[in-house]
Every structure is written in C-alpha cells, then in structure tokens.
Amino acid sequence: MIAELRDPEHLRSLGAAELSPELIAAVQRTAFARRIMVLELLRREYRSVTDQTSATVVRLIEAWLTRSSKMPSSRSPLTDPFVGIWSEGVLRGDRSLSEAGAVGRLIGAHRWLDEPVELDVELSSGRLHLPAYSGSARLDTEQAVLRADGSRVEVVAGGASVSLMAGEVQCSGLASWSPEQRVTSVADGFSLSVLLSNFDPLSSAVGPSRSIGLSSADGERWAVTIGRAWELVVSRHRRHVAGVQLAANVVVPQHSPDPNRHVSSSNADGFGAVGVSYTEDVATLALGLAHEARHGLLSVVLTEVDLHHEDPTPRFYAGWRPDPRPVEALLQGVCAFAAVTEFWRVEYGAAERADVRCRYSIELQRWFLQTLEAIDQLKNSGLMTAAGRGFVEGLSDLLGSAPEVEPEVALAVDDLIAEHRVVWLRDTNGFELFTFAPLTTLSDAWRTHFFAGNDRPNLHPTARAIATGQPARAAAPGWESLARDPEDGTAAGAP
C-alpha cells in the first residue's frame, strides 16, 4: 500500500493538480509496483509453458524481475508503457504472451541469461523494436530469427542482418537500423525528455487514432513544436509541469481524421505514453499533453485506491462525449476537463488579441459549464467513496469559480451546450428521426418536433435552464409547458 495515495489531503491535492514531491514519488512507486506485480503474475501463470517463444518471454521476465529491487532506469521494460499495455492485456486475456513485439521489449535481459536465445520472431511492418537499444531493426520481412547471448543481439532474415554489440550497430544486406527520436526540452530549469515513438506494435493501442511514421524532417518539426509547448506549460501552467514530466515520457504521433481537429489519447495500462496529433497551435498541443497526463495520473491512483463504488452502468451525461458514461469514465473525464478549464482560464487572462481572447473565452465557458455539471453528477451519484469525495473536492478547486465572459460568448456557449444535450438525448433514448439540420438552440429542437409523440422525462428542468440560458426557468413545472408550438411565443427559448 502506498500511504500517500490514501491520504485525503493528498488526494484532494492530486485532484487540484498540486503535486508535492511526496505525491510525485508516491505515483512513481505505485506505477512501478503495479508493473512488477503484473509481470510476477504472468511469470507464475505461464511458468509451465512449453512453446519456445512463450518460454523465452517467461525467462526474460524472470531476469528483469530478479534485477529490479529498486526503481529501474528509463531503458528498463519495467518503466516501458508498452510493456504495461501488453502485460495487462495478457493478464486479462486480451493479448498473447508471445505476440509480435513481446520478445523485443524484453530482450535487453539476454545478458543475464544462462543460455543463449535463438527463436523465430514476428516483425511488425518489417521491424523489430528493441527499446533497450534505443531503436528498431528493419528487415522488410514478416519473420526473422533473433539470436542473443551474453554480449550480442542479432536479427537475421535471409541474407540481411542487424547486429548489436558493445554499443555498435552493424547491418548487412538490405537490413537497416532506425534509431529512436528523442526530444529534450528545457525551460526555466525544467526538463522534459520525450521519446517520439511509432515503432512499437502497440503504438496504435495508445488511442483510437492511428499512429504515423515520422521522417527526419518530421521529427525535427515535432521537436521544435513540443519544445514550444513545454515552454508554455512551464511559463504559465506550472501546476501541470510535474504531471507532464511523469506521464508523457513517450509521445506517439497520431493521425487526425479531421485536419481542423487536434486529437489526443492515452491508455490506462500504459502510464508514461500519450498520443497526440501534430499542430502548430502551441496552446492546443500544450493542453493535449497536460490533458492526457491527468488521465495517466488518475489511472495510476485507481490501481491503488477505490475512489468510487463499482457500477459499470453507462448512465451519466458528459458534455465532451456523445454517449452515456459509467462512473469511472465520468470521473476520468472530469479529472481531465477540470484541468482543461483551468488551462483556458489562464490563457484567456493572458491573451491580448481580440480574436484569440474570443476563442479562449468560448473554450473556458463551455468546459466550465460542462465540467461543473459533471462534478455535480459525481457528488450526487452516491457512488463516490470517502477518498473519491476528497478527490472530487480537489477537482472543484481546480475548476474554480464561474468565469466572466462577454454576453455574446455566454449565449453562443449556451447554444453549443443545448445542441449537444439534445443530440445526446436523442441518441441515448434511441429515437428514430428524420434527417435534420444541426440544431442551434433548444427551441429549435421543439420546432423540428424532435420529441413529437414521445414522453421526455430525461429532459431535466435544470438542463433546459442551462441549455436556453434562462436560469429562472429551472423551476419550470414540466415538459408540457415546453411542448407548445414555438410560434405562440410561450415555448422554451421564445423571447
């Protein structure tokens, strides 16, 4: 048990993104202990396997566990987020012990084995990623032979080979070696070292958006932009510095299906890795790193502390999702979007150009209202434990008070929220409706007879009030008063 993560004040501080050195150390120890435990469980469960690849994987796991009595180096698989994704998946039965990439992630332990290794390995896109050697062997084939003894690792396919020994790399035939691209940025004495990774077969498991390869020129472009994003985090968002340093050691470049939309993601099993798409909008990239770091930190805490009672029912509204969410997913969303709101609050206060201030104020107002609603749902759900209630109080502290924005911005945000809520209600209740133009206000929803012929008990009066920007209507008697034709001047949203 990690005592610091069970302390109510520490949990509240974590929710508020106030990471003390003690809390940082507790998160690191928890993540490391979890990785050790999962690998030990795999070793015990599979110690009797007979196929060569699986048996080799178990031998390598044993070697790493034997040598890991203290916090390992950054090159150890015990801190590799992809080892986390793989091992947790194998333990659940979602992945294979001997799947592509497994041996490559662990082969750095070969120097501690009593007997040499020689086995067939499956390559991913013609590559075998060897993180202990900071790169990938490329042979442009589907299968290769991996040999390793106490001093050398060799990957061979036909007449091509990659050999690694004493820090030297030798390639023959059509084989080549692709070194990892690492970005180190320093701002005001704070350092961020990030591995740009798309070589591991599990890069795609970091999020729904596919990972992309980078040329040398792409890598340089990413390095510059990540450096600028880090400078912004350090200069104006100091409370997120430690979180990004802890949870964004590996950045997986991702493809955005919409060129006008930035994507970011993370995997609860892969603490230390985040996925982001490229953008030259430094504030958006900085926010993406901070956002995903919050998810990673909470995922670590949830392996140690019960913040909520078990309830997998997807029934909560989240203003950033199109679908109902279970309590843990809602908590994860609030953890991230409380930070999103606070980020835009700071940026709004610092912006000088009118158009930039307008954009930031919309982001601020929108996410404040949606996150506030989600926090209220958590508090009133009856599902939060005492520890969880303390954490949520910290989230409320981070969210802060209602922002002051221009009336036009407030009205525009009310429309955005109204549209999202109405579409969410439609999809949640499974209404079969004709095709319609995107909604603008809730009164427009009535005009399209969106709910015609359907009872609508889920449209809570508070939701109507927030959506229409008329708090006085929060006490409206019932949905019947809103069902009249808008043309008679008495429907919701009518002047």
User: Residues 94-119: what's their mean pLDDT?
Assistant: 92
User: Residues 468-484: what's their mean pLDDT?
Assistant: 35
The closest alpha carbon to 85, from 69, 73, 72, 101, belongs to 101
Which pLDDT score is estimated for 105?
93
Residue with more model confidence, 252 or 453: 252
Q: How far is CA 53 from the centre of its chain?
A: 31
User: Residues 475-494: what's their mean pLDDT?
Assistant: 31
Quick check: 458 pLDDT over 80?
no
Q: What is the rounded CA–CA span in Å between residue 307 and residue 389?
A: 8
Quick check: 74 pLDDT over 80?
no
Lowest mean pLDDT among 66-80, 233-247, 432-446: 432-446
Instruction: Give pLDDT tens digits for 79-100.
Output: 899 999 999 999 999 999 999 8
Q: For 326, which DSSP code? A: -
Which pLDDT score is estimated for 442?
44
3-class secondary-structure state, position 253: strand
Lowest mean pLDDT among 19-23, 91-95, 387-391, 456-460: 456-460
Contacts of 246 by beta carbon, 8 Å cutoff, 6+ apart: 24, 27, 28, 272, 293, 296, 297
Express as a percent the part of the chain with pLDDT over 70: 85
Q: What is the rounded CA–CA span in Å between residue 19 and residue 25?
A: 10
Band the pLDDT of 76: cuts 50, 70, 90: confident
Instruction: Give pLDDT tens digits for 232-249.
Output: 999 999 999 999 999 999
Quick check: 433 pLDDT over 60?
no
Band the pLDDT of 258: cuts 50, 70, 90: confident
Q: What is the rounded CA–CA span in Å between residue 400 and residue 396?
A: 6
Instruction: Give pLDDT tens digits for 34-43.
Output: 999 999 999 9
pTM for the full predicted model: 0.85
Nearest 5°: CA angle at 289, between 285 and 293? 165
Which pLDDT score is estimated for 111?
84
User: Residues 362-389: what's their mean pLDDT?
Assistant: 96
Contact indicator for 105, 82 with CB cutoff of 8 Å: yes
Which pLDDT score is estimated for 427?
84
Which pLDDT score is estimated for 70?
59
Distances (CA, A) of 295 to 259, 271, 374: 24, 9, 16
Distances (CA, A) of 426 to 193, 403, 423: 45, 30, 5
User: Residues 53-65: what's their mean pLDDT?
Assistant: 94
Instruction: Give pLDDT tens digits for 147-191.
Output: 999 889 999 998 999 999 988 999 999 999 999 999 999 999 999
Contacts of 105 by beta carbon, 8 Å cutoff, 6+ apart: 77, 80, 82, 83, 86, 129, 131, 200
Which pLDDT score is estimated for 475?
34
Which pLDDT score is estimated for 352?
93
Which pLDDT score is estimated for 73?
60
Q: What is the rounded CA–CA span in Å between residue 460 and residue 474?
A: 9
Q: Residue holding tokens 């949830």?
A: 302
Q: How far is CA 489 from the centre of its chain?
A: 46
DSSP state string for 441-456: SHHHHHHTTTTTT---
Quick check: 395 pLDDT over 60?
yes
User: Residues 321-339: what's their mean pLDDT?
Assistant: 97
Band the pLDDT of 1: cuts 50, 70, 90: low
User: Residues 285-308: what's their mean pLDDT?
Assistant: 97
Average pLDDT, the chain: 86
